[in-house]
Structure 1
Amino acid sequence: MNKLENQLLDYFSRLSEEGRQSLLDYARFLAQQYPATQPVADEPLDLPRPEDETVIAAIKRLSRTYPMLNKDKLLHETADLVTEHMMRGRDAAEVIDELEVIFERHYQALKHKE
């Protein structure tokens, strides 16, 4: 994640559930007003998981692996896992395993929706 993404995640983690939903709604609005100009891959990219990967690096890798996914739909789940890892000491490898499942699940849901 870059500096702006880290700041957004930090603010997001400080909000109440209602505040988080409002932030996501506003982000969705902005995404509609300022769409990405880059073409997006239809299939996941083959980016291997390195040994001793950090949770943040895993999120970056998975975001690049699944560029077709709407990241605001993933933010809540990924933010919760990052918080569990950073604040509660949950094992990084376990969190990354769960992140991979989340990204794959969202990808499968997108495929079946189309």
Structure 2
Amino acid sequence: MWMGNGDPEKRALLDLWRELEAGERQTLLRFGRFLISDRPQTGSGAPTEVVPVEPLAIPRPEVESAVAGLKRLKRTYPMIEADGAVLSEASRILMGKVTGATDREIIDQLEVFFGGCYETWREKHGS
């Protein structure tokens, strides 16, 4: 893919990519794929889905990658909209992988974060 000289964001991303080690690059790719897979589906004509008001009981596997943990938590808390603030904080936590945090540590932080988001949602929606 030709990055060209015209887009500073693409250039910055390429510069960051070059500085990452192989494992860090894989983490960045998995996170990018997660962002794409989490986009809302539009134009399907499907009926509106009823969103649960309680977290779903999706157990945490014994071994889980940070990205898989983030996906599981998104499914566990379907009532929490993945808006800019939520995605920004989840991304910040996930980027702990780059600084050496383990998947388990990152998932622990994500669970605390999503639990807090859920409590805020409950207060806002009177549940």
TM-score by length of structure 2 reads 0.60
Please point out which of 95, 110, 117 is paired with 1:83: 95
Q: CA RMSD in A?
A: 2.6
Give the count of matched residue pairs: 87
Q: Which residue of 2 aligns with 1:19?
A: none
Shift of 1:92: 1.1
Q: Which residue of 2 aligns with 1:59?
A: 70
Give 1 or 2 for the bigger CA radius of gyration: 2
Write out the 4+ residue segments of structure 1 that deviate beyond 6 Å after TM superposition: none
Unaligned segments of structure 2, at least 5 residues = 1-28
TM-score by length of structure 1 reads 0.67
CA displacement 1:28-78 (0-9 Å, x = unmatched)? xxx9xxxx9321111100001001110010011100000000111310111
1:111 and 2:116 correspond: no
1:6 and 2:17 correspond: no
Shift of 1:83: 1.3
The one of the two structures with greater contact order (alpha-carbon pairs below 8 A, sep at least 6) is 1
Unaligned segments of structure 1, at least 5 residues = 11-26
Structure having the higher helix fraction is 1
